[in-house]
Each structure stands twice: as structure tokens, then as C-alpha cells.
Amino acid sequence: MTEPIVRRRGRPRDADLEDRVYDAVIEVYSETSWRGFTLDAVGRRARVGRAALYRRWATKDELLVQALEARSPLPVPIDTGALRSDLVELVTQLLRGYRTTPGLVSLRVALDARVHPDLLAHLTTTLNRSRLVAARTIVLRAVERGELPREVSVTLLLEMVTGAALSHVLFSLAGPAADDDAYARTLVDAAIRALIAKREHDPGPVT
């Protein structure tokens, strides 16, 4: 009688491997920046073997992008029906996102890209694309509704709002998350007033 063939199961997939690796990426990069960031360092922190790590990610920049996309708080789609409330929600999301460790790591990548443009410039483009699209959509939608003139500078408005939000997180003496909603409303009102005043004295094209 022929013995039945017993098929051995392969090694079970490590269901939480990606989670551990992505967490390790954020930790390692926040401590070392680009110079000390390596796949081996991530593997040691995540307790993942070298072979398993290199099978999934060929380069450290590929791993960094995936980890930041998975861990960075990206903007939730915003459409409240009005420019002011859209921008207030955008600023609130930015403030909360920048205060997280992944948010701060994203900023560190942007700074490192100034020193290593050939290595990191495309990373910042990838990471910022969704934020830029979301923000520009808000302003262009307001133009279509007639809330802003067609000649308004989209870029300038977004720089005023997003730049001030970042500065508030980095330099505010009020401490983390101190009345973000009130700050967002004040910032948005000031930005819209300033842009409209500029438009009246210095007309220019939408950019």
C-alpha cells in the first residue's frame, strides 16, 4: 500500500512584519536622519532578518517612502462647501499631523533633501503630492464658486496657510495642541484678508 504523501507547509507569513518594519523606520530615521538610516539598522530595530527585509525592499529610499506613506497622516478629503471652513480644516489636520513622530520625520526628510538632493528630492515630491493636490483643490474649488477671484494666487495662499501652520508647530510657546481650532480660524481669516488686499493693489494671474 502506497504511503500518502505528506506536504509540508511553508513557513507561515509574519502578519505584523510590515507594521514592525514601518515603526522601526520612523524610529531609526528620527534618531539618525538619512546619514545613519540603513536597511540593516531597520532590521535590527524591527527584529527582522536581513534576507526577509531585502526580499521586500531593494533600497532604503523605497522602504522610507512606503513607511512614511503608511505612517504619515495624510489629509482626509475636505469639502465643507465653503473656502474658509475648508482651509480651517486643512490647517487643523496639518497641525495635528506635524506633531506626530511620522510628521516630524517627513519634515526631517525635506531638510535632508536639501543636503542630498539626488537621493531624496523625489521622496519629498512623492510624500507631498497628496497634500499639495488636496490644498490646491480647495482653493480652485473656491474660485469656481466665486469666493475668490480667478486671478488669485493659489500658490501664495497655500504658502501663507501651510507655512504658518508649520511655524506654529515648531516655534509656538503655547505647547502642543493648544487650541488648534482657534488658531486655525485666526490664521485662515488673516490669510484670506491679506490675499484679497494684495489682489486689489497688485493684480496677477492664478498660479
Domain ranges of the chain: 16-70, 73-200
pLDDT at 35: 87
Residue with cell 483643490: 137
- The domain defined by 73-200 carries CATH number 1.10.357.10: yes
Give whole-number Cα distances, 201 to 63, 87, 168, 197, in Å: 48, 24, 28, 7
CATH of 16-70, one of 3.20.20.140, 3.40.50.10470, 3.30.410.40, 1.10.10.60: 1.10.10.60
What pLDDT, on the 0 to 100 scale, is given for residue 31?
Answer: 93
How confident is the model at residue 144, as a pLDDT?
92
Q: What is the pLDDT of residue 83?
A: 94
16-70 and 73-200 in the same fold: no
For 161-207, how does the pLDDT look when each residue is reduced to its tens digit (9 = 90+)?
Answer: 988 998 898 887 555 566 888 999 999 999 988 877 766 666 555 45
DSSP string across 68-131: HHHHS-PPPP---SSHHHHHHHHHHHHHHHHTSHHHHHHHHHHHHHHH-HHHHHHHHHHHHHHH
C-alpha–C-alpha distance, residues 153 and 151, integer Å: 6
pLDDT at 25 over 80: yes
- 37: DSSP letter: -
